[in-house]
């Protein structure tokens, strides 16, 4: 769901646009989804692409929603981010190309990954179990 950057600017709130398209980062412990504990799916705030399941979320203590893995290898893509004098792996929505956050190699076993994602880059869809 690629769109020109000018179109994203007109349809997204400023703080969401700035994270997705200017690679900004929200301050730690300020995002609405940091403490979200309900069962559901975390989607891209830009295009709605399903990114992470609540079953993959864990409390990393970092101040941002953290996940051990994406829903699918096709949900996200990554690239090297050499900004701010450090080298990190940037996480990008595979559908629209928006910046989501970064992935680090300090997550819990067995995968050892921590997908550290800006809360404002996500929307949450609550799921209920079917009886």
Domain ranges of the chain: 5-126
pLDDT given at position 130:
55
Spatial CB neighbours of 118, under 8 Å, sequence gap ≥ 6? 19, 25, 26, 31, 64, 99, 100, 101
Contact by Cβ (8 Å): 75, 82: no
pLDDT given at position 84:
73
Please write the tens of the pLDDT for every residue from 41-95: 999 999 999 999 999 999 999 999 999 999 999 999 999 988 777 889 999 999 9
Overall pTM surpassing 0.85 (yes/no): yes
Instruction: Indicate the CATH number for domain 5-126.
Output: 2.170.150.20
pLDDT given at position 2:
80
Q: 44, 93, 96, 116: which one is catalytic?
A: 116
Whether 116 sits among the annotated catalytic residues: the reply is: yes
């Amino acid at each position: 769901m690629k769109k020109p950057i000018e179109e994203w600017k007109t349809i997204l709130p400023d703080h969401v646009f700035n994270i997705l398209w200017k690679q900004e980062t929200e301050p730690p412990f300020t995002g609405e989804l940091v403490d979200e504990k309900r069962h559901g799916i975390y989607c891209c705030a830009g295009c709605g692409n399903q990114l992470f399941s609540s079953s993959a979320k864990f409390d990393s203590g970092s101040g941002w929603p953290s996940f051990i893995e994406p829903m699918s290898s096709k949900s996200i893509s990554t690239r090297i981010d050499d900004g701010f004098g450090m080298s990190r792996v940037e996480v990008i929505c595979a559908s629209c190309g928006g910046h989501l956050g970064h992935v680090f190699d300090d997550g819990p076993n067995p995968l050892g990954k921590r997908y550290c994602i800006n809360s404002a880059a996500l929307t949450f869809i609550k799921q209920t179990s079917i009886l």
